[in-house]
Structure 1
Amino acid sequence: MYAVASIPFTDLGQVKKLIIKSAAAGADFVELRLDYWTRKETPPFLEMIELARNYGLDVIVTVRDPEEGGVWSPPWRGEAYEMASEAGAVCDVEVKKFKELPCDRAILSVHYFRKPPREGEVRKLSQRALEAGAWAFKVATVVTDFPSYFLLFSESVHPRTAFMPMGEGTEALRLASALLGSFLNYGSVGEATAPGQVSVRQLTKALSALGGRGD
């Protein structure tokens, strides 16, 4: 189980500060949310990958589709994933839309902002991710209570499944995800990138208490 610091990629100076802050908070990964870069030119993120690695952090590169919570659909999305792949980073793409895995280590993800998935949907999508050879499968969903969340969690057939409950008042469920064995656990070091997101420091404390850092 790993702690991931999700960083909106806006201003280079701010991104640098948040990478350093993520390392100090005990994160294992930083997620660079490139869809926050609203310029037409490709963001200069390779130097940020190098910086993160200098601080002992692995890197996830995400250009989130607007239909699943992204800021916008940039013209350089494909190019950014190619660059991330060549740099050896993890790439996060939507399981419902991918045609081929963009990186050797790819996360196939799905997001439910209005209501939880139908029964059996997580099982179906996780099976697709597993058969595609995805490094991990991620589900972010609105959820109201622990029993329903546990049922959704137990549907996944991928051995590396990350679950993120979303919505107001789900902070405790976020921390409980680690207890259930969520492979990746996302937190913020500044601006939250998802509703209900807790801080990375809270996550690392929870994971350390469980003695569950790593695969």
Structure 2
Amino acid sequence: MMGLQVKKLRIGEGVPKICVPVTGVSREEILEQSGSIARSGPDLVEWRCDYYRDILKEGCCLRMLELLSDVFKEIPILFTFRSSMEGGNCEISPEAYETLNLAAADQGIADLIDVEVYRDGLDAKGLIKKIHQRRGKVVASNHHFDTTPSVEDMTKLMKGMENMDGDILKLAVMPQEPKDVLNLLLATSQVSAGTVRPVVTMSMGNLGTLSRISGGTFGSAITFASVGEPSAPGQISLDDIRMIFSLLHK
């Protein structure tokens, strides 16, 4: 696995990078959260814009990205609209989803753009190509909030992301038993050993917490942590992740 350069950050090399989501629902809440997160100094941040109640109002998305850029400066920003079908906070049509992501790519502030590559009705490969034409970088993602697919199926899902030309391959699953967590880590190890692209995986919920801590050992390049309220089940606080990483990655 080779690294991906995003601003001054090299994703996929060395210690896994720590990403903190921004989940405010209003302009004021987003900026308040962002200030606290910026002061905590994560490696990168994810703006979960599906939480923003004005996200689909004309001009609001791009204006908020401008404000976030002023707050985070050299900290890379991952732009994510997580649809309700994959655990997000609101729904959006495939057409509006593509329009929103291309507008973010055209603006050029978002350093990474999340694309749900297996979304029904979306030409994900075409969207990724359009984002790349705008010099954007893509996190190709897929989320399973009810189950953990087989090792073979998880491997196929991530290889499919690679075939669609995602710059980072991200898979999140929900375990039903401890073996599911081991299966995710095995799939992570297999895929990361056979690709030059950074792989990001997580097993969610309390049962999957181990994957957020030790995923880097198996090839996962990013872990998601919280400052304040978590945005996904099983997220650990930024301070706790840093403490654990200081022991695991001396």
TM-score, normalised on structure 2? Answer: 0.75
Structure 2 vs 1, CA of residues 124 and 183 (structure 1 numbering), >3 Å: closer, same or farther?
same
Counterpart of 1:129 in structure 2 is 161
CA deviation map 1:158-213 (0-9, x unaligned): 4311011102343333111233331111111122111111112222333444559x
Of residues 136, 143, 153, the one that matches 1:111 is 143
Query: Secondary structure at 1:182's aligned position in 2?
Result: coil
CA distance in 2, matches of 1:85, 1:200: 28
- Change over 3 Å in CA distance of 1:196–1:136 after alignment to 2: same
CA–CA distance in structure 2, aligned partners of residues 28 and 37 of structure 1: 23
SS in 2 for 1:113: coil
CA drift of 1:3 comes to 0.7
Give yes or no for the alignment of 1:151 onto 2:186.
yes
Corresponding residue of 2:22: 7
Residue 23 of structure 1: which of 38, 44, 66 is its match?
A: 38
Greater Rg by CA: 2
Structure 1, unaligned runs of 5 or more: none
Choose from 71, 74, 79 the match for 2:89.
71
Matched residue pairs, number?
Answer: 211
User: What is aligned with 2:68?
Assistant: 49
Query: Which structure has greater helix proportion?
Result: 2
> RCO higher in 1 or 2 (8 Å CA, sep ≥ 6)?
1
Q: Is the 8 A contact 1:7 1:190 kept in 2?
A: no
1:171 to 201, 205, 209: 209
Q: How large is the Cα RMSD of the aligned pairs?
A: 2.3
Name the residue aligned to 1:82.
102
Q: Which range moves more in the overlay, 36-45 or 118-127?
A: 36-45
CA distance in 2 between counterparts of 1:188 and 1:164 reads 15
Q: Is the 8 A contact 1:92 1:109 kept in 2?
A: yes
Which residue of 2 is the match for residue 36 of structure 1? Answer: 51
Residues 33, 63 of structure 1: 8 Å contact kept: yes
Q: Which runs of 5+ in 2 are unaligned?
A: 1-15
Q: 1:45 is paired with a residue of what secondary structure?
A: helix
